[in-house]
Chain A
Amino acid sequence: MIIALLARLGWKTRQAADGAEAVGVMKAGHAEIGLALVDVILPDTDGMSLARQLRDEYPRLAIVLLSGQLNDESRWIVSDEGFRFLPKPFSLPQLRDVVAEMLGDPDAPDPV
């Protein structure tokens, strides 16, 4: 779903099913990846741990955490770590705004 939305916005995407695969994807293509959208609940680990690991390994990588479980009361968990957070479900304009904020102008040439 998110892949399709991002494709509609003109971004190239790569996806991973779990934390271990995400680390592998980042290792293989970190030069081309500018933003990681990480779900808070993952099959093998949790989004926070993965986001911390990615931030440690790739300090320039922008990271946005996605969750349908985190609400206004528990948002402090991700804010405390300084991550950007996007609650699910979200609309196309919301996703566009967050991606634009993290990566810059979506109409810039050759987006990655």
Chain B
Amino acid sequence: MDQNLLLTVEKLTLNPDIQRGWVANKTFVIKNVPAQTYLTISAAQAVVLQTFAEPVTVPDAFARLLRGRDCLPLREFYELVVKAHQAGILCAGTVRKPVRKTVRWPALRAGYILWPAWVLVAAVFVWLAVRVPVLRADLTSLFIGAGASLVALILGQMLAAALLAGAGGEVYPKKRMATFAGLHLRLDLRDSCLLRPGERALIALGESLPLTVALIAGLCQLHELVLPMAAVWLLLWRPWGAGLPRRLAGLISRYPQLDTDSRFLFLPNQRPQHHWRAAWLRWDWRVCLIELVWAAAWTLLVARLVFGEMGVSFMDVADDWDYWSVSLQALGAALLVTIMVIMVRRWQDGLRQMQRSVRQRFARMWRHWRQEYVFPDNEAALLRLASAHPLLGQLNPYEQAVILRSWRPVTFHAWQKLTEAEQESDHVGLILSGRATANRMGKNGRRMRALLLEEGDFFGLPHLRPDGTDALLEVRTRTPLAAMMMPAEVFKRVIVARLGAEGVYDLTHKYAFLRMLPLCANWHTHAVARFARLAQIAGYGDDDPVIQEKGDSGWFYIVYDGIAQVRSCGKFINRLKAGDFFGEISLLQNGSAIADVIAQGQLRCLQIDRTSFLRFMTHNHHVALRLEKISSQRLGYPIFPLRPGDF
């Protein structure tokens, strides 16, 4: 399913066939019972999923959450929706994940083996550390030892499955055979995530118990079988990846790992900083300490076994500075390479996105300056070009054909003046490649940049507002520029007459103004065009209040022209100039304004009412994410989730 469609159009419903697991630290697992998929969520995320109790689109659910002041941080919200949909917990229409069969397995209630299992593990560890066993073995012994390990692992799986069944969980066949010991890994015990931490620990220990017992037997009597069994045991108890110590330590975490914190599916989350942030927020020093201690102990044990096998005393090596001066460097280099590989693998999507955007930016700049633009030479290509344009696309094909016939391709040099200020041009140009600036004359007679024009923008436009507030601007190219020129008379007769001066003004002046704002930098052209259509222009006189602190503000504002002052409790906070925006915090919080905004001199603002703003924002997740980020920066703390004092 296309992610944009999923987050915008698709009506999603909460799957009725779900089961909730044991609650620990306000976190629990929900299971899609027929499909056997799992999702670890928090209580706040469960409230979000409840919004989908009846079929609803994501924007509608988002709007409801905003109204109810239950909204999660938006990255988490979108990640949750995407992951819940993938797990079949949120379904589109009647589409459900396919049903998987369960394995009938005898149940075993044996809570009493928990502590003996721990004692055996400790005994094996101490034995290996204190009485370093002889690990030499011939080929036959190696095979027999590997076979015995495999049998022990299978028994461990069977025991764990029985314990899982005894605790009320279900056992499933594994989807695919894993590389090592395929037989051993054929049972899927993921249902244990629904159980209490104690039961989960028991099942995890049960998996390794037969191997631990076999290893003790080997250490006592069957010395030649110890090498493969010890290797497998150490792998099972490895301090990285999905090793048993990490699984067991995770059970005592105060911040259990949620599914929305890792392996991101929502594309904007696939950036490096979000991985770090999630890891930092969920960091628990107790788990970290246990993992570090175990990693150190495990590493020393392995080193001791290896050195013992090589006939070298561990302490001799530990005292040898020459050895460490070489090996530490090698270890550091290996660590660095490992970290780099992990980072690249984790962030490859984000890095690819970043690389693509940088490449596109440079390619565009290169294209502008190399004057590589080739004008479309046939009517079909011109029609496609017109249809894709936000303004021309609103004309019907016959009107578009009239416009196309009047077009004349023209190329301009860099730094060339295209139109004069306050002088009506007899031609209107549509920029196809290159950049230009539109300047207005300030009160002191100096030129001030009003707009930055790019591909898709018009220049040389006639007056479009009856009040004459749209000054005719001086336009000057910044790069070599390719444009389609048409007579101003055709522009007025076909476009202005058909779409109205107000509509044309929206999609030319306002559109160009919005496109150059950092707020709209990553919006799609049609999103900017829609925003331009929704925004109304409102004028304020000197000292007029635009927003009053603690008052109800039902609008989102962007300063179009002029300056505004932000004051809180009568104290000056900030000055807002053209392009700055305000009012979004009270709309997102569904609360009152947090500061006064007062016009300083003549002020014109683009403003959008609450309903239109929320409708627009909820349908454009990149807009919502950007607004959330800026609002959080302005507040000094994350805007979502709302705090009890936010009104």
Contact with A along B147-166 (1 / 0, CB 8 A): 00000000000000000000
Question: What is the minimal beta-carbon distance from B293 to any residue of chain A, in angstroms?
Answer: 49
Cβ A75 vs Cβ B526 within 8 A: yes
Bound complex: CA of A64 vs CA of B543, how far in Å? 52
Q: Which of B59, B397, B620 lies in contact with A101, CB distance below 8 A? A: B397
- B383 surroundings in chain A (CB, below 8 A): 101
Q: Is B221 an interface residue (CB 8 A)?
A: no
Cβ B526 vs Cβ A79 within 8 A: yes
- A40 surroundings in chain B (CB, below 8 A): 5, 9
Cβ A76 vs Cβ B397 within 8 A: no
**Could you list 9 A-B pairs, sorted by A, with CB under 8 Å?**
A41-B10, A46-B1, A49-B1, A67-B9, A72-B533, A73-B530, A75-B526, A76-B523, A100-B397
Bound complex: CA of A77 vs CA of B616, how far in Å? 13
Cβ A48 vs Cβ B616 within 8 A: no
Contact with A along B368-407 (1 / 0, CB 8 A): 0000000000001001000110000000110000000000
Cβ B9 vs Cβ A80 within 8 A: no
> Are A49 and B619 CB-contacts (below 8 A) given A70-B9, A76-B526?
no
Question: What is the minimal beta-carbon distance from A63 to any residue of chain B, in angstroms?
Answer: 12
Q: Number of contacts between A and B (CB, 8 Å)?
A: 66
Contact with A along B87-102 (1 / 0, CB 8 A): 0000000010000000
- A73 surroundings in chain B (CB, below 8 A): 59, 530, 615-616, 619-620
Cβ B524 vs Cβ A76 within 8 A: yes
Q: Is B4 an interface residue (CB 8 A)?
A: yes
| Chain B interface extent, by class | 20 to 34
Chain B residue nearest to A94 (CB atoms) is B396
Chain A residue nearest to B393 (CB atoms) is A79
Cβ B388 vs Cβ A48 within 8 A: no
Contact with B along A48-83 (1 / 0, CB 8 A): 110000000000000000010111111111011010
Bound complex: CA of A69 vs CA of B7, how far in Å? 12
Contact with A along B1-13 (1 / 0, CB 8 A): 1101100111000
Cβ B619 vs Cβ A101 within 8 A: no
Cβ A77 vs Cβ B5 within 8 A: yes
Cβ B530 vs Cβ A75 within 8 A: yes
Q: Is B51 an interface residue (CB 8 A)?
A: no
Q: Is A30 an interface residue (CB 8 A)?
A: no
Instruction: Please name the 8 residue pairs, one residue from A and one from B, whose CB atoms are nearest each other, closest first.
Output: A73-B619, A76-B524, A48-B2, A69-B9, A76-B526, A74-B8, A79-B526, A77-B4
Considering only CB atoms and an 8 Å cut-off, how many residues of chain A contact the other chain?
26
Question: What is the minimal beta-carbon distance from A44 to any residue of chain B, in angstroms?
Answer: 9
Q: Is A32 an interface residue (CB 8 A)?
A: no
Bound complex: CA of A79 vs CA of B380, how far in Å? 18
- A75 surroundings in chain B (CB, below 8 A): 526, 530
Q: Is A84 an interface residue (CB 8 A)?
A: yes
Cβ A71 vs Cβ B525 within 8 A: no
Question: What is the minimal beta-carbon distance from B362 to any residue of chain A, in angstroms?
Answer: 21
Q: Is B213 an interface residue (CB 8 A)?
A: no
- A76 surroundings in chain B (CB, below 8 A): 523-527, 530, 620
Bound complex: CA of A97 vs CA of B527, how far in Å? 24
Question: What is the minimal beta-carbon distance from A41 to any residue of chain B, in angstroms?
Answer: 7
Bound complex: CA of A41 vs CA of B396, how far in Å? 26
- B9 surroundings in chain A (CB, below 8 A): 40-41, 67, 69-70, 74, 77
Given A40-B9, A77-B5, A97-B396, list of 20 further CB < 8 A pairs?
A: A41-B10, A43-B95, A46-B1, A46-B2, A46-B5, A46-B10, A48-B4, A69-B9, A70-B9, A72-B530, A72-B533, A73-B619, A74-B8, A74-B619, A76-B526, A77-B9, A79-B525, A79-B526, A97-B397, A101-B383
Cβ A77 vs Cβ B8 within 8 A: yes
Chain A residue nearest to B379 (CB atoms) is A104
Bound complex: CA of A72 vs CA of B620, how far in Å? 11
Which of B397, B523, B526 has the most chain A CB atoms inside 10 A of its CB? Answer: B526
Question: What is the minimal beta-carbon distance from A50 to any residue of chain B, in angstroms?
Answer: 10
Question: What is the minimal beta-carbon distance from A82 to any residue of chain B, in angstroms?
Answer: 7
Bound complex: CA of A73 vs CA of B527, how far in Å? 7
Which of A48, A76, A80, A104 has the most chain B CB atoms inside 10 A of its CB? Answer: A76
Q: Within residues 88 to 106 of chain A, which ones have a CB less than 8 A from any CB in chain B?
A: 97, 100-101, 104
Bound complex: CA of A41 vs CA of B10, how far in Å? 8
Chain B residue nearest to A99 (CB atoms) is B397
Cβ B5 vs Cβ A80 within 8 A: no
Question: What is the minimal beta-carbon distance from A86 to any residue of chain B, in angstroms?
Answer: 11
Bound complex: CA of A45 vs CA of B397, how far in Å? 31
Question: What is the minimal beta-carbon distance from B168 to any residue of chain A, in angstroms?
Answer: 36
Cβ A49 vs Cβ B2 within 8 A: yes
Q: Within residues 506 to 531 of chain B, which ones have a CB less than 8 A from any CB in chain A?
A: 523-527, 530
Question: What is the minimal beta-carbon distance from B155 to any residue of chain A, in angstroms?
Answer: 43
- B524 surroundings in chain A (CB, below 8 A): 76, 79-80
Bound complex: CA of A95 vs CA of B185, how far in Å? 57
Bound complex: CA of A77 vs CA of B10, how far in Å? 13
Bound complex: CA of A45 vs CA of B95, how far in Å? 11
- A77 surroundings in chain B (CB, below 8 A): 2, 4-5, 8-9
- A100 surroundings in chain B (CB, below 8 A): 397
Bound complex: CA of A87 vs CA of B523, how far in Å? 21
- B95 surroundings in chain A (CB, below 8 A): 43
Question: What is the minimal beta-carbon distance from B51 to any residue of chain A, in angstroms?
Answer: 18
Question: What is the minimal beta-carbon distance from B134 to any residue of chain A, in angstroms?
Answer: 60
- B10 surroundings in chain A (CB, below 8 A): 41, 46, 69
- A47 surroundings in chain B (CB, below 8 A): 5
Bound complex: CA of A67 vs CA of B4, how far in Å? 14
Bound complex: CA of A41 vs CA of B619, how far in Å? 17
Q: Within residues 1 to 27 of chain B, which ones have a CB less than 8 A from any CB in chain A?
A: 1-2, 4-5, 8-10
Cβ A71 vs Cβ B619 within 8 A: yes
- A41 surroundings in chain B (CB, below 8 A): 9-10
- A80 surroundings in chain B (CB, below 8 A): 4, 524, 526
- B620 surroundings in chain A (CB, below 8 A): 73-74, 76
Q: Which of B4, B5, B388 lies in contact with A82, CB distance below 8 A? A: B388
